[in-house]
Structure 1
Amino acid sequence: MSELTHIELFAGCGGMSLGLETAGFDLLFANELSPMAGETFAYNILGENLERKSELGEKANNTLWIKSNYAQDNLKDRLRENPFETAKGKYSDLDAKTDLNGKLLIGNIDYFLEFLNKNNKIVNQLKKKNVDLISGGPPCQSFSLAGKREKNNEKNQLPLSFSKLAGLIQPKIVLLENVKGITAPFTENGEKYYAWLEVCKAFVLEGFVPVCMMLNSKYFGVPQNRPRFILMAYRKDIFNKILKKNNKNEILKNSDKFYKIVSENINSLEKITIKDFNYYDIESNPELFDGLVLPKMTYSLDDFISTSEAIGDILRADIQYDINKTAGKYATSLNNIFSKNTLEDFSKIKNHEPRNHNPIIRSRFRFYQVIEQFQNGLKKGATDLFSGKKVSPDVLAKLNVEFSQHKLLFIKDKGEISKYPRNLEEVEVLMKSIPTKKHSQRALKEFGPAPAQLTVPDDLCHYHSEQPRTLTVREMARFQSFPDWFEFRSKVTTGGKMRKFQVPQYTQVGNAVPPLLAKSLGEVLKKQLKLIE
């Protein structure tokens, strides 16, 4: 079929774009708020090394700033700019003659909307392209159409900006990804709302018919238990063609019914509730995920990719590994599925540098590794003991036996020694010497999928006894199904007040859409477009 095109909003570091490209969608242009995430996107998706250009004092070619406080030739400061402080920025790389094709636009989507509203010629040019897909993942958890008149939480209105931009350009399909929390109700001005339903209404108002689902990345070859809400919204004329080809499909018929309800009640949208529409959960109705309307499951309970399969071949973080020369079948398959776009030498696996841990942290991580192996409620007993809670004599006796079979790291002379504890009292003394206020820390399970990826690097530690450490950026990227050639750029981590606006490598990975999931989503959309071509 003819070349498919897509526009990526809220692009992050490029996980969605990489997957969609592999599925057959060519990127028209992308938009991302963070210059730090944008640096990774530009490097891997567009082949532009912004760090090198900044060092040479050169301007970016394919990366444009919508608004900035710094001039175009000051790329170094642009790459570390706070994107929330650019409202009055006097510099912009966009004008009426700007060619958006193949570009990454850095900055607030609302500033881009302002630009488009002032440049009808560019909007008309985009409409003439009859763009196949606009995709992205705006924060949605507290979005409501009722709250759009309130200015106190700009982030909650980003889905509205997404829908308005889709309404301007009128692509054939919109693809929206979000966290599971979008399905939980929230209260605003005393009224209960469901953000996912409000988002659906917003897209109907722009002429799109929504189909919604709750997926989990582990069913698509991603070694991670990562539930995600997905919305596919079809332009009405495209939807009608798809429905005509699948006129007995109940999913499509329910979406068509919802579109009509919203269209007939534009002035009383609050009357439309979750009784009028629903989303499809892969856990409850796996049979519906057959590749016709909903994406096809490629993995099941018996063959999920495990933690050890994902990262066991790069166990040590103190040596360099050659790409495609490790024993990992999973990693090799990712490198084969996703083609390389970067211009740099990629013979070595990058982003696999370990973080420095003192003996206290290493000892604590070893403790987590040990109790992760405990069965029959003993893990809870050990956790309670660690946090100072009361534990029954029976559980204490069992813990005494269980701990005696595992080596722990004991702190000695500012160093550490690995040994079996003689008794539970010795374990308790050790635990008092490694206290923590963090209650979310835990070790990976070796033979199951990883838990949902977090953007804070020290919440998870490695599963292997020889590696009492946090995960490297590369290991987290493996859990997100990024190929080993995909290099994460900018700062590795950050802290303090800069957390509010900086998006370092760990956060880029944690926020990303897994490329394998994006590929599966792209493939089902491509199939539907091919059906009606």
Structure 2
Amino acid sequence: MKKLTHIELFAGCGGMNLGLESAGFELYFANEVSPMASETFAYNFLNENLTELSENNTSPVHTLWVCSDYAKDNLKNRLRENPFSGNKKITDLTKEANLGGKLLVGDIDKLLSFLIKNRKYKELQKLNIDLVSGGPPCQSFSLAGKREKNNSKNLLPLSFAKFAGLTKPKVVLLENVKGITAPFNEDNEQYFAWLEVSKAFSLEGFVPLCMMVNSKFFGIPQNRPRFILLAYRKDIFDKLFNNTTDTIKKEVLTLSRAFYERVNNRQLNINDIKVSDFKYYDIEEDPNLFDGQLFPKINKTVETFTSVKDAIGDLSDNNESNAYKILLEDLFDTKISQQLSNFEIRHHNSITQARFRVYQILEKISIDYKKNIINLLRGKEVIINEIDLFNAISSFLFIIPSAKNEKRIERKLKDFEDLKVLMKKLETKKHTQKALIENMPAPAQLTIPDDICHYDFNNPRVLTVREMARIQSFPDWFVFKSKTTTGGDARKFEVPQYTQVGNAVPPLLAYELGNLIKNTLNGLTQ
């Protein structure tokens, strides 16, 4: 069976592409705004080491810049430039450019301008692309607000929809965080970004089917809810509708068709279409729908969820036997043969280690005691019996930082006053830090390394990039390039390794979504 063609927008480091590739999709081209994330994508999929090329004053062949402040022969500066500042008037794209097999680095709107000006979108239409996918920021997007607000990120969903309307793929796949479903206010009006995105694709000729999935149901060791929009080109949707006989699934498709028609019939009054006119289907609330037909098939249940220990236990235990690791290696064909990369362990001072040990202990005690110790960490009073609170933690070894903040000492605490003294030394204003729970999937926030520490009492430290990548379902051969982490104002535009991993679509989730789309399209052509 022939491979299906795929264009990836907002490609990041390549998690979506890796999963879709294994599901049977062949990348036509990808677009990503961040040079740092692009470096990882190019290395793993295009066999181009951009840092090495820059050091040798050599230009890449498969990685082209849509826009830059630097000339093509200045790759070193291109890899470190802020993609959101400067004039960005230099481009590698020409009217004769063949986009096939390329990574296009730069602003999607400038890519759209190039496609329109040179009528390149006509060439893409002739290819009858099977899928365009991506995950643009959508949290405060509304069709009404787009004409009044200057926040460029609010326009990216519209750019995605416009790209789909120009190129006319059979299917669109949009991935986003759960926050897209929360209401937001703009000019005293309430909007739902997921609904506005659904309207935008409907206006471009695609019938939307919306869902809330969670990575843990697909074998990924992470409790990661994500909004997914599948939008079928109208002619493809009609075939899907006519081929569907199951009553419940027909009702789902009927709602999507009615929404599409309502949007296109009421374009001048589109704000009258409210959240009550459409819905998304939640894997937690409607699990029976997730059977591999309209929605991806659940393959893990509460009893069989993959835990973080299943995923990363071998990395600290030096245990070669890891079924999860083998699954990833078998599913995602190895492209790069080398030793384990991105496993640099960060070394913390004794205060940080001591604080991480507290977080590890917190996961071992009941919620009431946990809340009160967190109060102490934040300089607040406890609201529970002090003797009971001390008894709850008296059996654990705490790390006691030395006066010079260097030597690590471990011992049990003597009494409640001893606990208060230690918590005063470790006091922090951070609200997001926690430890992994070894026999459960990881929490969703894996973008900032300091937010999560290892579950192993022998390892009171943040996770390595490789450990985070395992949790996200990246195989060990996948190498993350550019800086490891960053801070300060650079966070506004830099996308270092930790952020690349945290922002990525888990490849295993992309694989399941890719299989669903592939099977749907193949079923319609039989």
TM-score by length of 2: 0.97
Q: Secondary structure at the match of 1:377?
A: helix
The answer to whether residue 305 in structure 2 is matched with residue 311 in structure 1 is: no
Stretch deviating more after TM superposition (164-173 or 40-49): 40-49
Q: Is the 8 A contact 2:379 2:427 kept in 1?
A: no
Q: Secondary structure at the match of 2:304?
A: coil
Aligned to 2:193: 195
Equivalent residues in 2 for 1:34-433, closer than 5 Å? 34-86=34-86, 88-120=87-119, 122-247=120-245, 248=247, 249-315=250-316, 326-342=320-336, 345-346=337-338, 348-375=339-366, 377-392=368-383, 394=385, 396-414=386-404, 415-433=407-425
Q: Is the 8 A contact 1:456 1:506 kept in 2?
A: yes
Matching residue's letter, 1:222 = I
Give the distance between the partners of 2:264 and 2:149, measured in 1 at CA. Answer: 26
Tell me by how many angstroms 1:368 deviates: 1.0
Counterpart pick for 1:472 among 432, 457, 464:
464
Q: Is the 8 A contact 1:403 1:424 kept in 2?
A: no
Q: Is the 8 A contact 1:368 1:443 kept in 2?
A: yes
Stretch deviating more after TM superposition (362-371 or 205-214): 362-371
Tell me by how many angstroms 1:152 deviates: 1.6
Q: Secondary structure at the match of 1:203?
A: helix
Give the distance between the partners of 1:125 and 1:227, measured in 2 at CA. Answer: 37
Q: Is the 8 A contact 2:376 2:427 kept in 1?
A: no
Give the distance between the partners of 2:477 and 2:15, measured in 1 at CA. Answer: 13
Stretch deviating more after TM superposition (260-269 or 158-167): 260-269
Counterparts in 2 of 1:32 and 1:79: CA distance versus 1, 3 Å: same
Matching residue's letter, 1:175 = L
Tell me by how many angstroms 1:46 deviates: 1.6
Give the distance between the partners of 1:463 and 1:67, measured in 2 at CA. Answer: 44
Q: Secondary structure at the match of 2:302?
A: coil
Counterparts in 2 of 1:332 and 1:453: CA distance versus 1, 3 Å: farther
Query: 1:35-75: CA deviations, max 9, x gaps?
Result: 00000011112221111111111001110000111111111
Aligned to 2:31: 31
RMSD: 1.3
Give the distance between the partners of 1:151 and 1:145, measured in 2 at CA. Answer: 11
Tell me by how many angstroms 1:376 deviates: 5.2
Q: Is the 8 A contact 1:44 1:486 kept in 2?
A: yes
Q: Secondary structure at the match of 1:418?
A: strand
Q: Is the 8 A contact 1:453 1:476 kept in 2?
A: no
Q: Secondary structure at the match of 1:275?
A: helix
Matching residue's letter, 1:223 = P
Give the distance between the partners of 2:220 and 2:51, measured in 1 at CA. Answer: 30
Tell me by how many angstroms 1:341 deviates: 2.6
Q: Secondary structure at the match of 2:28?
A: strand
Matching residue's letter, 1:163 = A
Matching residue's letter, 1:507 = T
Give the distance between the partners of 1:190 and 1:376, measured in 2 at CA. Answer: 39
Tell me by how many angstroms 1:125 deviates: 1.2
Q: Is the 8 A contact 1:22 1:337 kept in 2?
A: yes
Tell me by how many angstroms 1:85 deviates: 1.9
Aligned to 2:450: 458
Query: 1:97-145: CA deviations, max 9, x gaps?
Result: 101001000000000011111011x211111100000000000000000
Tell me by how many angstroms 1:89 deviates: 2.5
Identity, in percent, stands at 56
Q: Is the 8 A contact 1:46 1:341 kept in 2?
A: no
Q: Secondary structure at the match of 1:476?
A: helix
Tell me by how many angstroms 1:407 deviates: 0.4
Tell me by how many angstroms 1:91 deviates: 1.7
Give the distance between the partners of 1:480 and 1:294, measured in 2 at CA. Answer: 21
Aligned to 1:490: 482
Aligned to 2:5: 5
Counterparts in 2 of 1:393 and 1:26: CA distance versus 1, 3 Å: closer
Matching residue's letter, 1:402 = A
Give the distance between the partners of 1:57 and 1:340, measured in 2 at CA. Answer: 29
Tell me how many residue pairs correspond in the alignment. 520
Q: Is the 8 A contact 2:213 2:228 kept in 1?
A: yes
Tell me by how many angstroms 1:290 deviates: 0.5
Q: Is the 8 A contact 1:217 1:225 kept in 2?
A: yes
Give the distance between the partners of 2:101 and 2:416, measured in 1 at CA. Answer: 62
Give the distance between the partners of 2:141 and 2:89, measured in 1 at CA. Answer: 31
Matching residue's letter, 1:307 = V
Matching residue's letter, 2:107 = N
Matching residue's letter, 1:410 = I
Q: Secondary structure at the match of 1:85?
A: coil
Q: Secondary structure at the match of 1:57?
A: coil
Matching residue's letter, 2:379 = G
Instruction: Give ranges in structure 2 of 5+ residues lacking alignment.
Output: none
Tell me by how many angstroms 1:385 deviates: 2.5
